[in-house]
Structure 1
Amino acid sequence: MTQKQPVVTYRELTAADHAAVIELGNRVHGDNYLTEANLADYVARGLKNGVNLNWLAFVDDELAGIRLTFAPGNWEIDAYCTPAKWPVTPEQMCYFKCAAVSEISRGLGIGRGLLERSIAAAQSLGCKAGLAHIWMQSPNNSAYSYFTRCGGEMVAEHADRWYELSVQGGYHCPICDGICHCTAGEMILKFDS
């Protein structure tokens, strides 16, 4: 008997998807990582000039992956950024805010598929690279491994990246069991022309 191959489909995120996106994001990253308020902000930051950089993946019509990406000019350079080490200007860079793939759907290429679609959308806005703060304490360091395999290069590491979110925003880090002291790897992914 042959086993049925899962069917993976992709589409842009819409307002009708918010509840499912919040549920999956929090299941992967911890309680209150995504909320109604911050997701609405993130979605808006992913829209520019009619282009949507936010993508979803479905396996057999069930939400299996999310990729939230901020358009150039729609994100702030903060203390966890090192622009002097970036290969392009901030105006030429999108920000990869959040990715999550359900545990049962890992290994199907969903993370890369979502990333490729966000990159294509970002390139249509003139982006030449993307910045991400990679969760260095992700289980089995999977976030760093994944982003490195996709071509990401480490720029700097920043301790306590999500501390403020855990203290003031109610984020419950699953690794730190509450107040987050995890390190973010500031990584750049240069796009092929």
Structure 2
Amino acid sequence: MDFFAGVLGWTVIAEPGGSFTGWVGDRLAAQVVAGEEGWRLFFGGDEPRALMANSSVDSGRVLHGPWAPPPRHGEPCWVELLTSAPDEDGAYWKRELGWDAAEGQPGLGLYTSARHGDPRPVAGTMNSCLGAESNWSVYFAVDDIQAACARVSELDGEVSFGPGPLPIGMIASIEGPHGGYCQLLEKPVAWGGNWSG
């Protein structure tokens, strides 16, 4: 938690049961729960329930996404599903959340949602040739990607990719000194960066 808070500028609050929350102003950016591995995503929906790929549906107010306010430094700004079965997973997300699959570039795809009006990109998908179980990758907004990567190094983390340009925008992949990884996206104007149009 200290590593990600140091890179992303979170205000950290200790919660009951040994978990911690990271805040950007008045918006919750993340919660770290002892004993859990990886990111668990919560998508907005009508009925709370568990989904595949370490995700769930929550019926509460959606804090981040295509209809939320633009992401600030340290807030989630995109999610991407790494999968070896894109067609199968696309049918699953359509059935569970009403998403549609849209073609991106080779090996990349987009899920869109019209839940609150016109269709907007809600998540990405990337083909994995490793045959691993599908999992979600989380992107966090940063104001200055070079400065954020320098901070990663100062805090004994690792920049495993970038910074470099991708269709979504200027990104870097980082990993903390005790595990945990995510992507950084520089100055996204909205959820999904360049995918938002």
TM over 0.5, yes or no? no
Normalized per residue, the structure richer in strand is: 2
TM-score normalised by structure 1 residue count: 0.27
TM-score in terms of structure 2 length:
0.27
Q: Which has the higher helix share?
A: 1
